[in-house]
Structure 1
Amino acid sequence: MTQPIVTGLSGNEIYCMQLKGLKPSGIVVGNSVQSMGFLGGVSSAFRGAVGGEVSAVTSMIHDGREAAFERMADEARREGVHGVVGVSSDLRNLAGNSEFLFVGSGVIGGTGTKAFTSAGDAQELYCHMDAGYQPLQFVFGNIAYSVGAVGGFVGNLKTMVRGEIREFSDIFNATRHRALDRMVSQARKAGANAVVGVRTNVMKFVGFHEMYMTGTASFHPALPAECKTYPVTSDLTGEELWSMTSLGYAPIKLLISTSVYSLGTIGSLKAMFKGFVKGEISDLTTLIYDARENAFDRLRKDAAAVRAEEIVGIKTYIIELSPGLIEIVAVGTAVQKLSGVKVDTPSLPAQAIIRDKDTWLSGESGFTLQSTRAGR
């Protein structure tokens, strides 16, 4: 009796993969459970520190993820699949320990001798492939860091002054870029000249913060030879990357800029009292406007340094580090017109654009769902 195929791919994803000659073959999983016991002591030691990377924690988290990923890849090799689509990475707490989990959907029917793994979903992968980016490997970079400087003695003095705290901005800028560089290093080892579909997550983790970046290391034949040394990076969605490719543009670099601003002691008190009265809080309005403009200026300078023509897909995020102290993060992709860059088909199929809806819903008296979908 023939066994049915089990896949995490949706109907739209299966349709998109078949357009590229790939069919679902099954789900592959890899995990690693790590003890977090020693982190409490490390956390205590860094509470009054100046801030920045905590390398012991970075390495521990990285090793846990790498072990889980390799186990998933080993299972894929045993299954004889051509690729693992939509690899998802999750970190779950289990009775004081942490489980690092990788799940993906295997596909068969492709050409080539080396199997690939890809981040994102199969709809995004279709857009990447149609834009000429052949997937090679799921890649990631992370950094665990302390924000101890916010509560430190120097930090308390600095927050009495309104405006940017350059020392904090420099620490956080270095931190953000270190995670990106580590992801790019993995891509270079895989023989890629591009990392597309980059996604970033910042989370609290046992007394620290962790920045975690994932993407699909790919190869595009039209990119310059120097991209083998430092692959291009992009956090454009699959549809955006396809659209820019159809216009002749290629990504150059994912740009990240961060500015840490203090409202100042006097400003904080004024903002607090104004909060009782309806109307605009001018101090906060001006502060956040200035912080965003400062972050944008850094993006422009970084883009000019790599000879970009445009910065597209800019997004800004506000993180409150402590009362009266905020971090503004601006992210965008620098692009440039490049000969030989084109899409395979004149338009995207509807199945590559339609977003799938969740069909399992919880009501008021239900429970919170935590799911990991293979291929999503």
Structure 2
Amino acid sequence: MARVSGLSGNEIYCLALKGYTAGELVVGNSVNSMGFLGSLGAGLNNILGGEIPQVTQAIQDGRMHAFSRMAKEAQGHGASGVAGVSGDLRGLSGNTEFLFVGSCVSSKSGGGNFFTSAGDAQELYCHMDAGYTPIHHVFGNIAYSMGIGGGIMGALKQLARGEISDYSDVFNKTRHKALERISAAARADGANAVLGIRTTVLPWMGTHEMLMTGTAMHHPGLPAGDVVTSDMTGEELWSMASLGYAPVKLLMSTSIYSLGVVGGIFSALKSLARGEISELTTLVHDAREHCIDRLKREADSLGAEEVVGVKTYIVEIGQGL
């Protein structure tokens, strides 16, 4: 019977160069409910703001169940690993379905440890060609809310122009906590690197979940110590490795700025006429410069030579923010 794979022709070709053949598409899912007590506890934490452990754990458990089922199905097919693993979270009759999909791959030579990898098979090829050995698809998450207290303080600070540190702290702490957790998951698998990290923010039951996914890998040439983290694509990593560079750490920085009441009034008045709105120009410029300065200082503390692949996002999250 014909095999059904989620891998493209290019991916199959890249895998063949590394001695692997494509196999069956595999799926794992788990439908979960928070339950009454969990929802009550989450509601109380939501008032206080910050991480909501009940929600974080519920999502973590759901994902692990779905992922384990996908991996078990692949092992049942006799696969050497699963490539192109992707996850999803969706509502289903008031509950939540956690879903993982991937494609089996088999080694032509046989042997080796079973592995799972995030990203597509072309990215996997680049990682392997750069000397990395895939171990497991890993993820780190944190569910959080601003909370009533943080919302009130943030609202008061919106009266004046400048950074709203209460909001910035929530975003920065949650992102770094998710990074710590994905690094810990990789370390537990015996990896010394997490590559191809992708970051998403998902709404879930009135909260927000920060999710990071990537592939835990091992490279014999990396120095002992902290787990290396990188969001570079496989092609970018391969190119940098050919130039003699190795990743150190994924850096992130967020600054939430407000125009303030006076700035908002001036901006509104100027928008009635043609021309530059200097209040908005300087606000966006200051926020961007603040973020870049944080990245530089953290890179210097790590002893890094370069900060590459910087991506800048400017999003309006509220009135004047």
Pairing 1:192-341 to 2, within 5 Å after superposition: 192-226=191-225, 230-325=226-321
CA-CA distance at 1:76 after TM superposition: 1.5
User: C-alpha offsets along residues 44-95 of structure 1, whole Å, 9 cap, x if unaligned?
Assistant: 545653x311111111111111110111111122111001000010111112
Counterpart amino acid of residue 299 in structure 1: L
Answer with 155-164 or 268-277: which moved more.
268-277
Pairing 1:1-376 to 2, within 5 Å after superposition: 3-36=1-34, 38=36, 41=40, 45=44, 48-49=47-48, 51-109=49-107, 111-148=110-147, 152-226=151-225, 230-325=226-321
What percentage of aligned pairs have identical amino acids? 60
Residues 42 and 265 of structure 1: is their aligned pair in 2 closer, same or farther, counting only changes over 3 Å? farther
CA-CA distance at 1:271 after TM superposition: 2.2
CA-CA distance at 1:40 after TM superposition: 6.2
**TM-score, length basis structure 1:** 0.81
CA contact 2:131–2:219 (8 Å) conserved in 1: yes
CA-CA distance at 1:231 after TM superposition: 1.1
CA-CA distance at 1:161 after TM superposition: 1.1
| 3-state SS of 1:142 partner | strand
Residues 302 and 107 of structure 1: is their aligned pair in 2 closer, same or farther, counting only changes over 3 Å? same
User: C-alpha offsets along residues 305-332 of structure 1, whole Å, 9 cap, x if unaligned?
Assistant: 110000000001223332112xxxxxxx
Q: In angstroms, what is the RMSD of aligned CA positions?
A: 1.8
CA distance in 2, matches of 1:303, 1:145: 27
Q: 1 or 2, which has the higher strand percentage?
A: 1
Counterpart amino acid of residue 134 in structure 2: P
User: C-alpha offsets along residues 101-158 of structure 1, whole Å, 9 cap, x if unaligned?
Assistant: 0010001125543110000001111111111111100000011110235873322211
CA distance in 1, matches of 2:111, 2:319: 55
**TM-score, length basis structure 2:** 0.94
CA-CA distance at 1:166 after TM superposition: 2.2
CA-CA distance at 1:191 after TM superposition: 0.6
CA distance in 2, matches of 1:63, 1:320: 33
CA-CA distance at 1:173 after TM superposition: 1.3
CA-CA distance at 1:291 after TM superposition: 0.6
Counterpart amino acid of residue 318 in structure 2: S
CA distance in 2, matches of 1:211, 1:129: 28
Residues 151 and 192 of structure 1: is their aligned pair in 2 closer, same or farther, counting only changes over 3 Å? closer
CA contact 1:150–1:156 (8 Å) conserved in 2: no
CA distance in 1, matches of 2:219, 2:202: 32
| Partner residue in 2 for 1:329 | none
Greater relative contact order structure (CA < 8 Å, 6+ sep): 1
CA contact 2:23–2:79 (8 Å) conserved in 1: yes
Counterpart amino acid of residue 14 in structure 1: I
**Unpaired runs of at least 5, structure 2:** none
**Unpaired runs of at least 5, structure 1:** 326-376
Alignment coverage as a number of residue pairs: 319
